[in-house]
Amino acid sequence: MILVHHLNNSRSQRVLWLLEELELTYDLRRYERDPVTNLAPSELASVHPLGKSPVIEIDGRKIAESGAIVDYLCHQHGRHMLPRAGSDEYITHMELLHFAEGSAMVPILLQLYTARLGNNAAPLRPRIDQQLDSHFAYMESMLRPSGHFVLDELSAADIMLSFPAEIAVKQDRGALYPGLARFVETIHARRAWKRAMERGGAYSFA
């Protein structure tokens, strides 16, 4: 049995979506952000030293980090969502999996944190905005005619890149990146996505 430690309004939603796509049975333990600070509750620190979500437990073994969880679940239960090992698509897929939680998240998190600084953050905003647009443009360019990343059907890269794509749309950049806007609209219409939303609770990026 899979147990998911899930934080509302977080990248953890992708894990629920993947589990629903793979039609895997799982238990859910939900945690709520502090309504004032928006931080994760202290209880998550007892689950994993980082005190963050998502974390999954499988037969007593804990796995943290979204990318690691998605990679593990796809290798174990969703090989059809991974390109053939050694192919050009495999290399691109690996790059995008790491990009989704690496380069893509840096300006997103900087924007979130500096928003609390008011005018003191003004010198940083042009660079943050430039990086956001650079990353969103890169993602737009990586979409295939099918509307997916890497493969012509849903892949692990689609799961991982869903969050930064949602951020682009949430920030009203959909007109600038219509491919990303269509991608988000398409994934949000999937039955598995809707089931994940029903189980996961509040999610501001839908």
pLDDT given for residue 146 in this prediction: 97
- Which residues, in sequence order, are CB contacts of 107 under 8 Å at separation 6+? 128, 129, 131, 132, 135
Which residues of the chain register pLDDT less than 50?
none
CATH code matching the domain that covers 83-190, chosen among 1.10.1740.10, 3.30.1360.40, 3.40.50.10190, 1.20.1050.10:
1.20.1050.10
Please tell me the CATH superfamily of domain 2-80+192-200, with its number. Glutaredoxin (3.40.30.10)
CB distance 130 to 137 below 8 Å = no
pLDDT given for residue 85 in this prediction: 95
pLDDT given for residue 55 in this prediction: 98
pLDDT given for residue 202 in this prediction: 83
- Which residues, in sequence order, are CB contacts of 106 under 8 Å at separation 6+? 131
pLDDT given for residue 189 in this prediction: 98
pLDDT given for residue 116 in this prediction: 87
pLDDT given for residue 190 in this prediction: 98
